[in-house]
Amino acid sequence: MNEENLIKIQKRAKNWLLGSFDEFTKTKVKELLENNSEELKDSFYKDLEFGTGGLRGIMGVGTNRMNKYTVGMATQGLANYLKKNFKNLKEIKVSIAHDCRNNSRFFAETVADVFSANDIKVYLFESLRPTPELSFAIRHFSCQSGVNITASHNPKEYNGFKAYWKDGGQLINPHDINVVNEARKINIEDVKFNGKKEKIFSIGKEIDEIYLEGLKKLSLSPEIIERNKDIKIVYTPIHGTGVKMIPESLKNYGFSNIFNVPEQDKIDGNFPTVISPNPENADALKMALDKAKEIDADIVMATDPDADRIGIAVKDLKNNFILLNGNQTNAILIDYLLKKWQENGKLKGKEYVINTIVSSEIIKEIAKKYFVEYYEVLTGFKFFAEMIEKNENKKTYIGGGEESYGFLAGDFVRDKDAVSAASLIAEVVAYAKDNKKTIFEYLIDIYKEYGFYKESLLNIVKKGQKGEKEISEMMGNFRENPPEKINNINVILKKDYLLREEICLKTNKIKKINLPKSNVLQFIMEDGSKISVRPSGTEPKIKFYFSVKENLKSKKDFYELQEKLDNKLLDFENYFNN
């Protein structure tokens, strides 16, 4: 970093030694200025910005950190924006929830105070709740906005501020940008921290009950559940918010044999039993898998700290537990939902499903079979919510998911929902058992019908200001110098979602992409493989999504074909990791 940039950062930091900042904060800033230039740079070189998951960052002092002041300024900016947008309303209302993380309750109460000080009515959950229940509450109370304090599956050092709009979906353009712009206008002295208690209303059990009843209406096979209600389910919330609601939803569906992992039922923002509370990672499910082997379970399920993402483990053909990825879970759920909607006579020709551009295209093939409309959206469930809102009262949303372990069935919630997903996954296990199959054999049947799609994800971490620059340079190089061949396979199509262009590399013919701008590149290969590249919106990394496909003729060919596809994926990973 050059001296001019360092001086700018020091100046930003010294502003936090003045005015309304508390003494603890000022002391910490002084320590950074005097003793830790690297931490100082990362703490102050920029402001936290809204990404695919809202405001998210490491907790600590500084403009690039989650703390009382950055949370307060974001809330004040949102409050100002709400007052401009809804100036004709007699009363503006918001709902607020939080997860299990360190400082989450404090941040949630800070948000409630700032809103109420701005004469906005606040519905604050009495204790931690899943993210999807916050989305539900916004719609239930006819709120104009909402905030959830969570950093989802990030490590314990992180926290976040997810902002929602009146439809129950996360903020999208232009609202997200406008809120950030409003926040940037604000000095710390402008933030109204002194809340009006008469404007803050505690909510809890009464919303839980209504939400759970809504989830139960998603069930499509109650008679099958009744016949198979004793399937063995192991569930872990990984110290998070699913600890109460997911077992209750499973019981509400009719399942009676639910096993927990006592050590991970303990609510703890330090996540003491795992390295990272991410259900994508095998380590996070180790204790649940040990329990499953002990009791010979039918299914293992784990959710992240705010219970919007779910990971599952199932027995394979060799009776060993394996983890399924998000694409596999989505394929199982979409296939089951469409199959049962058809069997139950619910398909009327106006139904649709949603998938993201970086997720498996097997969803498109399943939708095609059932003559159900298929939409692709950018990464992030805020775009699912936008599509559902756009089709409200015209078409019926059945379900949709993304490769990063999120799924949403039904439209009464407008964010990914691991509570409903867990209940529906258990229902699929019961359905498969009723048909003398395991859920893994159900998945193989899907592959036999639509093709064996296999995916992998490569994350390259680049931390701090230097890393941010490196990621930008990598994206620029891929954009300006797209590969003609990857591992001796021709690239036939490049999709640039920032330029909103699809370019045929053989003919140079350009086709418009009818989606919002996003910094995503895709390379389509002549063998049908798909490679997507994008910077993460919530973490310091660049992400590479690989998808390959072959035809699967029979169950006995599964492992041989899986090895072939895995080797192909590994070759792609090695190509981009060098």
Average pLDDT over residues 256-266: 97
Q: Is 211-450 a domain of CATH 1.10.10.10?
A: no
> Number of C-alpha atoms within 13 angstroms, CB side, residue 570?
6
Angle, CA 201 vertex, CA 191 and CA 388 arms, to 5°: 85
β-strand 373-377 against 510-512: which pairing, if any? Answer: unpaired
* Average pLDDT of the residues in 447-468: 92
What residue segments make up the domains of the chain, in order of their start? 46-203, 211-450, 453-576
Residue 2, pLDDT score = 66
pLDDT score, position 417: 98
Quickly state the pLDDT bin for 183 (edges 50, 70, 90): confident
- pLDDT 10s digits, 43-99: 999 888 765 556 899 999 999 999 999 999 989 999 999 999 999 999 999 999 999
d(CA 206, CA 172): 30
User: Right CATH number for 453-576 from 3.40.50.360, 3.30.310.50, 1.10.3720.10, 3.40.718.10?
Assistant: 3.30.310.50
Residue whose pair of structure tokens reads 């992240």 in the numeric block: 304
Give pTM, 2 decimals.
Answer: 0.94
Please tell me the predicted confidence (pLDDT) of residue 179: 85
Least reliable range by pLDDT among 141-145, 179-183, 289-293, 295-299: 179-183
End-to-end CA distance of the chain: 26
Distance CA 355, CA 378 (A): 9
Mean pLDDT of the residues in the chain: 95
User: In what helix (H) or strand (E) does residue 331 lie, and over which residues does it extend?
Assistant: helix 326-343
CA 428 – CA 422 distance, rounded (Å): 10
How far is Cα 549 from Cα 358, in angstroms, rounded to an integer? Answer: 15
Report CA Rg, the chain.
24
Q: Give the per-residue pLDDT at 539.
A: 76
Whether 359 has a pLDDT exceeding 90, the answer reads yes
Query: What per-residue confidence (pLDDT) applies to 199?
Result: 98
196-215 tens-digit pLDDT: 999 999 999 999 999 999 99
| CATH assignment of 46-203, among 3.40.605.10, 1.10.760.10, 3.40.50.2300, 3.40.120.10 | 3.40.120.10
pLDDT in tens, 91-125: 999 999 999 999 999 999 999 999 999 999 999 99
Domain pair 211-450 / 453-576, same fold: no
**pLDDT at site 527:** 93
Average pLDDT over residues 280-292: 96
**Which tens digits make up the pLDDT trace of 289-332?**
999 999 999 999 999 999 999 999 999 999 999 999 999 999 99
Is the pLDDT at 465 greater than 90? The verdict is no
Instruction: From residue 7, give the alpha-carbon distance in Å to each of 36, 37, 63, 70, 274.
Output: 15, 11, 15, 22, 40
The stretch 437-457 carries a mean pLDDT of 97
Note if the bond before 483 is cis, omega within 30 degrees: no
Which of the residues are catalytic?
Answer: 152
* Across 423-430, average pLDDT: 98
